[in-house]
Chains A and B, each alone.
Chain A
Amino acid sequence: MKRTPKQTCLPTCLPTPLRIAVAVAVVLLVGLPGQAVAGGQVESDPEAVTVTLGYNPFLSDSFTDAPPPIDVIRDELARIHPDITIEYYTMPQNMLEPLVIWMTSQDATIDIFGIDEPWVTQFGRARWAVPLNDHLPDLEDRLETAGLDSFSYQGDRLGVPFWSSLTGLFYRTDILSEYGFAPPETIAEMETIITTVLAERPELAGFLWPGARSEESINMFYATLLYAFGGRYRDTDGNFLFDSPASIRAVQWMRDTIGKGLSPRTVQNLERLESRQRFVAGEAIFSWDNADIITWLDDPERSAVAGAWDVIPFPAAPGGRSVSVTGGFAFAANPYGKNVDATIKVLDVISREAVQKGFALAWGPVQYYRGLYDHPLVQDYNPNVEKLGSLVSIAINRPPSQHYAELSGMMSEEISAAITGTRSVEDAMDRLAQRAATLEGR
């Protein structure tokens, strides 16, 4: 077929700038893929696998001079499984929302994701995490059983814990010694200390605790007080005891701390970060908090109370017992992921001493790796870890429930209503008991 003049004209009849642009585009289109194939690792190694790991931005943060955990994971992975690389998918602070969307649509965007302790029953029931029992039998030897139990559902180990928290009562050693007090062993002693100190130093807050409804912390604080006043979660028949006298006393005491001026009025809406900021700023005598505050408290550049604090189990009333409530995160495997075998290998690496140590050095305690805190370097980076020993021995989980996510929401709603006076304590706890019974019977 004879070419038309229009066709032959195309390369030459264009204006010069356009011809240059076309030439550049052709070079880019032809040249770059060749470059990528030549220089890219993935294409050059047919065995290479990339595993995506989704977690909030903290994984690339270090609170000490140790390398951030993501670097430690990558280094250890390169050493043990050089054919596997990790792509770190930075997720928002509130990771639950995208995770629920991904899992309901059986999405494979991420292979490994961070799972918070309260989500475990929900994810376990929905089969949104690969049970690791058969894949990683060494987990039991490496990690403390209590840590693995926190991320288990009906016997299935769903996560490799890498960080956990234990709650306790933080207090100012300088203030207590100035006024001649020993650390309180009972709630009454704690009240006496606060009343005495505040009489002379009213600018201080006596006792801080996070009472905002929007956070899980309020439920953990309630659990602490429930046991402190002699209560427990369920009776022998398995019924929740939210309306028991001990439970009502626990919530009433929360309210009384505000009424008596032991706690500032604002604790009713205080979030955990706000609560700890005030304690770290030296504005309070006591604070109920998680142990993960330790690295912050000890940093002289960011803490006004460095070297002037200690932590003890939360005191109990007569007939009650001190408990520490657990929390924390683990890494779980997405059952819809494309690289389940490689994912399991990465989780295996994360459960090893080198990575668990990396977390301990960069983030501080607590990790569940057996014997980790006997290591001199870990002790060097965590000089206060011994203070947590008394908390580990009295640790309890949150209320056991197949529907914990919903139960948790109900608890925070009703406890918030009680402490803010929106409802009476008895009414709120009665309602909570009824709602919980309906939920469990569903």
Chain B
Amino acid sequence: MTSSLPRSETRIGLFLVAPAAIGLLIFNFFPVLQSGFFSLLALDAGTQWWEARFVGLRNYSDVMRNGLFWYTLFFTVAFTVAAVTLDLTLGMALALATFYVPRRVRGVLRAIIIVPWAIPKVIQATMWRWMLNSDVGPVGDMLVRLGLADEPPLFLVDRFLAMGSVLLAYTWKGSSIAAFFLMGGLAMIPRDAIESARVDGANAFQRFFRIVLPMVMPTIYVALLYRSQDALRVFDVIYGLTGGGPGTTTDTLSSFAYTTYFRYAQFGRASTYAVVTFLLVAAVGTFYIARIKTNFNFREP
């Protein structure tokens, strides 16, 4: 259904949106365009962009020939799939729990959910680095005390454990953010619908999958979009927890771009990594937004 807006209302709308749109153009779109341009140049610390040699797509072909890039791309995508799945599953469980626990516990549970969200990512990484420390960390100690391990596992040294560790640390915060989104979605479901289903004899399983899940789906898509884009760009947690190690096991596209830009000052090549990451994030965003549009009733002018 469409409805036409009066011209004055359209003007006011455009006027109100203009500051944000200008900000987005300057701070979001300009750097993207600049990175795209720089990725076509042989640009490093010793060259100004106007002096740099135009190399066309050579940076891209160099990147494509780099085995480390393909491994990093694979790890980034695999990490995103695993992290988003865990984020949303745990987030949904936490969000549902806040509606079904006794009222007195509800506030405490919501506070517990907020804490990981409120902690800055760098501090989160440092905290988990200590928690997973094999000498003094409580996680390894607990496993030994419970008889689940003979000695504390080398969480940040063994490559598979290191991958699991960054996933765990990331999900700890991510699930709290997802729960935040989903609590909002769940709160908007009319209780009548659930009560009617209960009166009609639907069990909890049926009520969740037939009533709750379809009604909360638009929120899930938004959470999915937000968490996927965040996971594809993951940097802080990995940088603080493993530094990309052991070896290059937990390097991601963002950490690759960061190192190439800041440590190596190879701006052309770093821009190429940034553009590839952007394209990946944009593709995922476009896909989700296309799906979301069918679930929302946007007001058309």
Cα A97 to Cα B265 in complex, Å, equals: 10
Cα A8 to Cα B248 in complex, Å, equals: 75
A128 touching B262 in the complex, CB below 8 Å, given contacts A212-B243, A213-B246, A422-B159: no
**In angstroms, how far is the closest chain B Cβ from the Cβ of A150?**
19
Question: Does A96 contact B246, Cβ atoms closer than 8 Å?
Answer: no
List residues of chain A with CB within 8 A of the CB of B156: 269
List residues of chain A with CB within 8 A of the CB of B158: 420
Which A residue's beta carbon lies closest to that of B249? Answer: A422
Question: Does A266 contact B134, Cβ atoms closer than 8 Å?
Answer: yes
Cα A125 to Cα B264 in complex, Å, equals: 12
List residues of chain B with CB within 8 A of the CB of A423: 247
A268 touching B246 in the complex, CB below 8 Å, given contacts A125-B46, A420-B157: yes
Question: Does A416 contact B245, Cβ atoms closer than 8 Å?
Answer: yes
Query: Which residues of chain B (245-301) have a CB below 8 Å from chain A?
Result: 245-249, 259, 261-267
Name the contact of B261 in the complex, choosing from A100, A213, A265 (C-beta under 8 A). Answer: A100
Name which of A52-60, A288-296, A405-413 contacts chain B: A405-413
Name the contact of B244 in the complex, choosing from A127, A213, A418 (C-beta under 8 A). Answer: A213
Question: Does A100 contact B249, Cβ atoms closer than 8 Å?
Answer: no
Question: Does A128 contact B247, Cβ atoms closer than 8 Å?
Answer: no
A126 touching B135 in the complex, CB below 8 Å, given contacts A213-B246, A416-B246, A420-B245: no
Cα A405 to Cα B262 in complex, Å, equals: 10
A414 touching B247 in the complex, CB below 8 Å, given contacts A104-B45, A122-B45, A265-B134: yes
A97 touching B157 in the complex, CB below 8 Å, given contacts A213-B244, A416-B245, A416-B246: no
B154 within 8 A of A: yes
List residues of chain B with CB within 8 A of the CB of A96: 262-263
A100 touching B262 in the complex, CB below 8 Å, given contacts A125-B45, A127-B46, A420-B157: yes
Name the contact of B135 in the complex, choosing from A97, A212, A266, A428 (C-beta under 8 A). Answer: A266
List residues of chain B with CB within 8 A of the CB of A90: none
Count of chain B residues near A, Cβ 8 A: 28
Question: Does A104 contact B264, Cβ atoms closer than 8 Å?
Answer: no
Cα A422 to Cα B75 in complex, Å, equals: 15
Which B residue's beta carbon lies closest to that of A414? Answer: B247
Question: Does B263 contact A405, Cβ atoms closer than 8 Å?
Answer: yes
Question: Does B45 contact A128, Cβ atoms closer than 8 Å?
Answer: yes
Q: Which of A96, A127, A264, A266 has the most CB of B within 10 A?
A: A266
List residues of chain A with CB within 8 A of the CB of B124: none
B133 within 8 A of A: yes
Q: Which of B44, B45, B246, B267 has the most CB of A within 10 A?
A: B246
Cα A265 to Cα B134 in complex, Å, equals: 9
List residues of chain A with CB within 8 A of the CB of B135: 264, 266
Which A residue's beta carbon lies closest to that of B68? Answer: A413
Query: Which residues of chain B (26-84) have a CB below 8 Å from chain A?
Result: 44-46
A192 within 8 A of B: no
Question: Does A97 contact B262, Cβ atoms closer than 8 Å?
Answer: yes
A64 within 8 A of B: no
Q: Which of A96, A122, A123 has the most CB of B within 10 A?
A: A122
A266 touching B246 in the complex, CB below 8 Å, given contacts A96-B262, A100-B261: no
Name the contact of A405 in the complex, choosing from B46, B133, B242, B264 (C-beta under 8 A). Answer: B264
B contact residues vs A (CB 8 Å cutoff): 44-46, 133-135, 154, 156-159, 239, 242-249, 259, 261-267
12 A-B interface contacts by CB (under 8 A): A122-B264, A126-B46, A214-B242, A215-B243, A266-B134, A268-B246, A269-B245, A406-B263, A406-B264, A413-B245, A420-B158, A422-B159
4 smallest CB-CB distances across A and B, nearest first, come from A417-B247, A214-B243, A126-B45, A213-B245
